Amino acid sequence: MKTYCVTGGAGFIGSHLCEQLLSQGHRIINIDNFHDVYDYKTKIRNILSSTGSSFPYSYSGDKAEDLAKLQAMVESDHYSLVITDIRHMDELDAVFASEKIDAVIHLAAMAGVRPSIEDPLLYEEVNVKGTLHVMEAMRKHGVRKWLCASSSSVYGNNKKVPFSEEDVVDYSISPYAATKKSCEVLGHTYHHLHQVDTIMLRFFTVYGERQRPDLAIHKFAKLLDRGEELTMYGDGSSRRDYTYVGDIIAGILGALSYVEQNTSVYEVVNLGTNRTITLRDLITSLEQEFGKKALIRTLPNQPGDVEQTYADVSKANQLFNYQPQTDFAEGLHKFVRWYRGNSNG
């Protein structure tokens, strides 16, 4: 049994990762701050699902009380929930001092391109300074293996497709993208100075069960299901490399195995599918799943939105045999089935 620290382990991707690591018999320390960017009850449900805890869960309506109850419910020899913010260095230090951590998978961040334009200082504080705090805790306590979530947004409006890890990514078009590029640079610094074996994983538009309610597929599904108008920015020709969460988790686990088995590692790696779907085709696919016609309001493209994302995944395949298995139609069907079974959508 190994002990892994997963930051952001109550979120969409993090809860799936914790579930898989637990199924392999490992111990998980989940650090999450339950930020109010969306309802904290969503993350409670994620944790209950990922730890196999019993439903239904009785909410008091008081966030602090509910989270304290959750901590007590899920605490075990294999799982510990630490509710803190990665901006709080003293609290991170206490966690790392009390546990023998084998590796860190750092997923915690303020996410989203458009919100980062409205509050760039918050994004810098959490994504850059918070990541630096995690790396400092690792350095101080001798943890030398880690994975860090980066993003396809670092490519900006790259004209060359598919996007390769060798492409220049010096032209971010949102504060969010800039913070993710900054973390990649910091990761290399700690690899060079402190011999931290590192893989920076550039995720490409992840979707699937437990997807955050503020992301496009989930948001569109809810509006379409309710017969409400959805907003399409641009003419629908923008393209995304949508990656099913199960394939992302397989990629993370492959990268974790690689970084554990090798030394002197610093790699930046795409995790996508090497296929793209237009926004218009996404909406059409949702219409087919729900058997309804969408009411669409068209608005101009938004600042910070990229025209397309398109991953070259050959490096991930070469390093740890990454091979995405789920095509978009299958993955979308799995998401919609989960959505229909989720009482809160």
Supply the residues annotated as catalytic.
176
The DSSP secondary structure of 29-71, one letter per residue, reads: EEEE---TTS-HHHHHHHHHHHHT--S-----S-HHHHHHHHH
Q: How far is 122 from 148, CA to CA, in rounded Å? A: 19
Query: Residues near 124 by Cβ (< 8 Å), separated by ≥ 6?
Result: 175, 179
Q: Is the dihedral of CA 227, 275, 312, 247 positive or negative?
A: positive
Q: How far is 158 from 154, CA to CA, in rounded Å? A: 9
Q: How far is 239 from 220, CA to CA, in rounded Å? A: 16
Question: Is the Cβ–Cβ distance between 322 and 204 less than 8 Å?
Answer: no
Residue 224, CB-side half-sphere exposure with 13 Å CA sphere: 24
Q: How far is 129 from 125, CA to CA, in rounded Å? A: 5
Q: Is the dihedral of CA 306, 180, 113, 341 positive or negative?
A: positive
299: alpha, beta or left? (left if phi > 0; alpha if psi -120 to 50): beta
- The distance of Cα 41 from the centroid of its chain, to the nearest Å, equals 18
Query: Residues near 38 by Cβ (< 8 Å), separated by ≥ 6?
Result: 212, 213, 214
Amino acid at 142: G
Q: How far is 169 from 249, CA to CA, in rounded Å? A: 25
